[in-house]
Amino acid sequence: MAQTADVVIIGGGVTGTSLAYHLADRGVKNIVVVEKKFLAAGGTGHSVGIIRQLYPTREARQMVLRSLRVFQHFRELIGGESGYVGCGALIGISKVMLPTLRRSMETQAELGIRAEVLTPEEAHRIEPRIDPEGVAGLLYEPESGYGDPTGVTLGYARAARDRGVRIEQGVEVTAIRVAGSRVLGVDLASGESVDAPVIVNAAGLWACFVARFAHVELPIVVGRHPVFVVRRPPDFGAAHPVYLDLAGGTYVKPELGDLTLTGSLTEDEARHPMDPERLGGGVSFEEAALALERTSRAVPSLASGAYQRGYAGAFDITPDWMPILDESPVKGFYVAAGFSGHGFKLAPAVGEMMAELITSGRTTINRAPFRLDRFTEGRPARSSFVSSYLAP
């Protein structure tokens, strides 16, 4: 491996590869992506891949809209397949959240996000298989849906390679060399080192470990989020849209063939810390039964589906469930992590924002809500995944 680089990116998930592409596209030379396993081996390869546009802040909405446009035109813009399916997303809202949703509709429209609030009866007409009981209103986003996180990662990786980026798989960073308050380079498990003035921590679920190499503490907890796979019953009919029931605490996403992915939207994953090495591990029968019961309340005809399997996913969660996109107090050491279970849908805009930050110090979208020092400014911590949809 080359002994020097202009930028070393640690992590070959959707964040690291998107950033590599955007840096190379902006003319940065000598970029190395270092991935300890293989591309998309981390959270990316275990992701559900849902794309929704409801976010609590203007900046996050801008980011997701920018990303959506890239997913929609991925082949022309980046090359490869994003797997985008614009099946639409319905988001079930409780009575207490409804006024906040209505207020947020103004910025949605201003930014060009297509969305409308439906009554339960109107939603039932669009998708009769959904039971909106307990839901006061539903947000309908016709352009939302899902994509393929591994496909997007490979697309960015290929486009980055075509622009001269070196992508090293099976190569683990074991130390970051720092002098004073500036990074000098990384040491690898092989015993080699790479000197670089810029190092980016895009290590997802391992971001805290990697940050500690540079003596930086990140306010990130790795929390367990199990996912369950159900085969839809033969008489179910065409695939359903994405349904995120924030009131009932469940989601469903159609998967290839006649499969549906489902999981919980009620848990505070931060209260279930997990060793990231256990990613992809098994789930208990009891937790599957509980999750599937909730799913069947939201989509009753899935009750007669066949449970196939479950696996332990995990989120890298910050106190406000929004990512950290910033330079750390160690000069040249940047962080793009803490995606809190929604980093796939933001990845194109995240790569672009980080590339702007690294090359010019300025970003097109206001980066303030993603700064690391927001956690030292005494902001109240939020408590669950739902806070990444609507401000409390």
Task: Tell whether residue 49 is a contact of ligand FAD (CB under 6 A).
Answer: yes
The answer to whether the beta carbons of residues 144 and 9 sit under 8 Å apart is: no
Nearer to ligand FAD, 44 or 384 (CB): 44
Contact call for residue 199 and ligand FAD (CB under 6 A): no
Binding flag, residue 137, ligand FAD (CB under 6 A): no
Question: What is the maximum span of the chain, computed from C-alpha positions, in angstroms?
Answer: 66
C-alpha 227 chain-centroid distance? 15
Interaction between residue 344 and ligand FAD (CB under 6 A)? yes
Q: Which residues contact 336 (CB under 8 A, 6 or more apart)?
A: 15, 16, 19, 200, 201, 202, 323, 324, 325, 350, 354
Q: Residue 46 or 232: which CB sits closer to ligand FAD?
A: 46
Q: What mask, x for binding ligand FAD by CB under 6 A, covers residues 157 to 176?
A: ---------------xx---
In angstroms, what is the minimal distance from the CB of 375 to ligand FAD?
18
3-state secondary structure of 226: strand
Between 102 and 251, whose beta carbon lies closer to ligand FAD?
251
- In sequence order, what DSSP letters do the residues of 55-92 get, joined into one string? -SSHHHHHHHHHHHHHHHTHHHHTSS----B---EEEE
Q: Of 5, 8, 48, 159, which one interacts with ligand FAD (CB under 6 A)?
A: 48
In three-state secondary structure terms, 241 is coil
- What is the footprint of ligand FAD within residues 310-329 (CB under 6 A)? 313-314
Choices 175-183, 205-213, 228-236, 264-272; region in contact with ligand FAD by CB under 6 A: 205-213
Q: How far is CA 288 from CA 247, 250, 253, 273, 277, in A?
A: 20, 12, 16, 19, 21
Single-letter residue type at 173: V
- Smallest gap from residue 39 Cβ to ligand FAD (A): 7
**By the criterion CB under 6 A, which residues form the site for ligand FAD?**
10-16, 34-37, 41-44, 46-50, 149, 172-173, 202-206, 210, 225, 227, 313-314, 339, 341-345
